[in-house]
């Protein structure tokens, strides 16, 4: 078992100022991020090649994971590749898959140092075999870590997740294991890809786009959305803290009339 990473210590006056306004006892347990804007970043930097943006974005993945671990969050879900992203040019898809593979291997020491357990959500059988193998390897190496759960959404679609849950429930009903009247919202949630994780309290999308793009459709029923203008490759700890501050300024009511703190 790995030791807990050190608690977050602000490194700039800007970080210290946001950090001092956060209430550490009411941070979200689970944050989900739509990592968007890699292509635009590459265009702005005049690399032209979209993949350069994806490559630079891996540094932001490391920063986000480390920050979440140092804040002792329970889970971080990162939208890395959607079911719709398969429609991108073959060159880009191939490059993304090879970036994923090298990330999965190179990142092991960092995951171990931060006591992070890697899991993945999506139609993983659609990934190339080499990516699947590296994914299982990194998941098994980090399986004993009991700090942050890093959930990578890969070949992930919210609608597909719901359909996959329905399929498994229908199979169980067909075999007589469950009856239609046993189905409740809680029982349904147990059939999703990560039944052990709480629903995300906060969803962040970078790059200024304000849409859900088929992410976690079931789980975001009461999630707070924070849209940040920063492009994903420029995302650093200060942006994470900014999103947390925005979240803590929200009043959540869950359909009632009184604010609920949880
Ligand atoms: C997000 O960045 C990464 C993936 C979807 C894999 P984009 O590649 O969507 O970047 P933009 O939106 O074109 O700038
Ligand atoms: C969503 O971003 C998917 C990921 C971040 C992996 P996209 O860039 O693919 O979404 P759209 O096409 O702008 O909706
Ligand atoms: Mg995009």
Which CATH number is 239's domain given? 3.40.1180.10
- CA dist 36 and 38 (Å) reads 6
Domain that holds residue 110: 28-159+199-248
The reported pLDDT for the residue numbered 177 is 97
Per the structure, how many domains does the chain have? 1
pLDDT tens, residue by residue, 218-252: 999 999 999 999 999 999 999 999 999 999 999 99
Confidence of residue 48 (pLDDT cuts 50, 70, 90): confident
Ligand that lies nearest to the alpha carbon of residue 36, given by its number in the listed order: 1
pLDDT bucket at 187, cuts 50 / 70 / 90: very high
Is residue 240 domain-resident? yes
Q: 202 CA distance to ligand 1 centroid (A)?
A: 20
The reply to whether 192 falls in a domain is: no
Q: Which residues contact 36 (CB under 8 A, 6 or more apart)?
A: 205, 206, 207, 209, 231, 232
Q: Is residue 178 part of a domain?
A: no
Distance 215 CA to ligand 2 centre (A): 9
Flag whether 262 is in a domain.
Answer: no
- Is residue 36 domain-resident? yes
Neighbours of ion ligand 3 (CB under 5 A): 36
Name the pLDDT band for 192 (thresholds 50, 70, 90).
Answer: very high
For 58-112, write each residue's pLDDT tens digit.
Answer: 999 999 999 999 999 999 999 999 999 999 999 999 999 999 999 999 999 999 9
Q: Which range (5-9, 104-108, 138-142) has the least confidence?
A: 5-9
* 179, part of any domain: no
Report the number of secondary-structure helices (H) and strands (E) in the chain: 9, 6
142-160 average pLDDT score: 99
> CA-CA distance, 254 to 190, in Å (whole number)?
21
Confidence of residue 262 (pLDDT cuts 50, 70, 90): low
d(C-alpha 102, C-alpha 52), whole Å: 15
CB 69 within 8 A of CB 7: no
Q: What is the mean pLDDT of the chain?
A: 97
User: Is position 205 within any domain?
Assistant: yes
Residue 225 forms part of a structural domain: yes
pTM recorded for the entire structure: 0.98
Ligand 1, pocket residues at CB < 6 Å: 35-40, 50, 81, 85, 96, 207
Distances (CA, A) of 4 to 61, 63, 69, 114, 214: 19, 17, 8, 6, 34
Q: Inform me whether the pLDDT recorded for 2 exceeds 90.
A: no
Residue 1 has pLDDT above 60, yes or no: no
Q: Which of 36, 38, 115, 145 is catalytic?
A: 36
Q: In angstroms, what is the span from residue 230 Cα to ligand 3's centroid?
A: 13
* pLDDT on residue 46: 79
């Amino acid at each position: 078992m790995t030791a807990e990473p050190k608690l977050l210590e602000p490194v700039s006056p800007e970080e210290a100022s946001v950090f001092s306004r956060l209430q550490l006892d009411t941070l979200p347990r689970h944050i989900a991020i739509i990592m968007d804007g890699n292509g635009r970043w590459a265009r702005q930097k005049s690399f032209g090649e979209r993949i350069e943006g994806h490559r630079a974005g891996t540094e932001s993945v490391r920063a986000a994971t480390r920050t979440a671990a140092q804040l002792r969050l329970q889970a971080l879900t990162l939208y890395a590749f959607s079911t719709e992203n398969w429609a991108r040019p073959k060159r880009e898809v191939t490059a993304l898959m090879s970036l994923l593979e090298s990330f999965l291997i190179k990142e092991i020491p960092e995951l171990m140092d931060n006591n992070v357990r890697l899991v993945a959500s999506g139609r993983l059988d659609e990934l190339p075999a080499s990516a699947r193998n590296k994914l299982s390897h990194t998941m098994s190496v980090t399986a004993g870590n009991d700090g942050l759960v890093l959930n990578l959404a890969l070949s992930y679609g919210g609608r597909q997740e719901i359909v996959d849950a329905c399929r498994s429930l229908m199979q169980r009903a067909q075999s007589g294991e469950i009856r239609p009247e046993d189905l409740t919202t809680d029982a349904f949630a147990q059939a999703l890809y990560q039944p052990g994780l709480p629903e995300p309290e906060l969803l962040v999308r970078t790059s200024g786009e304000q849409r859900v793009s088929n992410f976690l459709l079931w789980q975001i029923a009461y999630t707070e959305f924070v849209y940040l203008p920063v492009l994903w490759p420029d995302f650093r700890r200060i942006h994470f803290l900014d999103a947390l501050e925005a979240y803590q300024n929200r009043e959540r009511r869950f359909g009632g009339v009184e604010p609920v703190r949880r």
